[in-house]
Amino acid sequence: MNYKLLFISLFSLFSLTISAQKPVKLALLKYSGGGDWYANPTSLPNLIAFCNDELKMTLDDDYKTIEPIDRDIFNYPFVHMTGHGNVVFSAQEATNLRNYLLAGGFLHIDDNYGMDPYIRGEMKKVFPELEFEELSFNHPIYHQKYKFPDGLPKIHEHDNKPPQGFGLTYEGRLVCFYTYECDLGDGWENASVHNDSDEKRIEALKMGANILQFVFSN
């Protein structure tokens, strides 16, 4: 497969969509293995609304649920993944996901607590040559519209660990951002779901907005 041509085609599609002010649709990854990929059903709609209101983005109000094997994944510039448990990628799914990311797509993985032991091994199937590396606090993803000089906000407490943002970088481009011990997605949910304070929810939404702004500007 000619990744360079595919990247140019995909990038052009995203650029034309944004420049024409047509809604860009985000996607949620439905994976196998038994983990609850469907956790946090109000997260993406709330993040989309926040970005449209505060950053004047033109995101579709709805999102697409997509599987790693779907060729249709190439139509979505941003794919969000979350859950608490097991994750399994088949060889074909790993290859398709890799091709998507090499073509200009972006994957955000948000550990909802319990995903970490599984997702690291599965992403090795996608990029066996890469390792997750913690991003420094001066990385541009923390310094978009909103400034996070100390990195990710801590939304929920689980194991008394600091929040960490890990990345997979391929040929100088961040293709996957993994938020760990942070629970951004929980913070994006309706206030009644977790009873998070307004302050915490706004922190989470601002960081989510930064991620999307970074993706669409790089």
| Whole-number pLDDT of residue 193 | 84
**The dihedral of CA 68, 176, 55, 189: what is its sign?**
positive
Give the integer Cα–Cα distance in Å for 156 and 137: 20
Number of Cβ atoms within 10 Å of the Cβ of 40:
24
Q: Helices 3-19 and 91-102 meet at what angle, rounded to 10? A: 60
| Whole-number pLDDT of residue 159 | 78
Residue 204's domain comprises 3-217
Taking only Cα atoms into account, the Rg of the chain, rounded to an integer number of angstroms, comes to 16
Does an H or E element contain 210, and which? helix 198-217
In 3D space, the residue among 163, 162, 166 whose CA is nearest the CA of residue 134 turns out to be 166
Number of Cβ atoms within 10 Å of the Cβ of 13:
14
Domain count of the fold of the chain: 1
Give the integer Cα–Cα distance in Å for 36 and 196: 21
| Whole-number pLDDT of residue 200 | 92
Q: What is the SS3 assignment for 91?
A: helix
| Whole-number pLDDT of residue 191 | 86
- Contact 191/201 with Cβ under 8 angstroms? yes
| Whole-number pLDDT of residue 196 | 79
Give the integer Cα–Cα distance in Å for 76 and 64: 8
CATH of the domain at 188: 3.40.50.12140
Supply 79's token pair: 């794919």
Give the integer Cα–Cα distance in Å for 78 and 96: 15
Low-confidence ranges of the chain (pLDDT < 50): 1-9, 11-20
